[in-house]
Amino acid sequence: MGSGSLPGCRQVRVKAHRPVVGRVKTLRLKREARRWYVIVVTEQQPVPQPATGREIGLDVGVARFAATSDGEVVANPRFLAAIVSELAAAQRGVTRCRPGSGNRRRARRRLAKLHRTLANQRRDFHHQTARKLIDTCDVIAVEDLAITNMTRSASGTVQAPGRNVAAKAGLNRSILDAGWGQFLAILLAKAEGAGRRVVKVNPRDTSIICCRCGARCARPRQDTVLCPVHGGMDADLNGACNILTRAGLGSGRAA
Which residues sit at the interface with Zn ion, rule CB under 5 A? 210, 212-213, 215, 227, 229-230
- What length does the chain have? 255
* Residue 55 backbone dihedrals phi, psi, to 5 degrees: -125, 130
Residue 28 to residue 26: CA distance in whole angstroms? 7
Strands of the sheet with 231-234, listed across from one edge: 218-221, 224-227, 231-234
Contact 225, 218 (CB under 8 A): yes
Closest separation between CB of residue 252 and Zn ion, Å?
11
Write down the catalytic residue from 32, 86, 124, 143: 143
Query: Is 86 labeled as catalytic in the residue annotation?
Result: no
Give min distance, CB of 209 to Zn ion, in A. Answer: 8
| Residue from 32, 43, 55, 59 carrying the catalytic annotation | 59
- Known catalytic residue at 32: no
Q: How far is CA 14 from CA 4, 127, 202, in A?
A: 8, 21, 42
Residue 59 annotated to the active site: yes
Q: Which residues pair with 26 in a beta bridge?
A: 41
Active site residues: 59, 143, 236
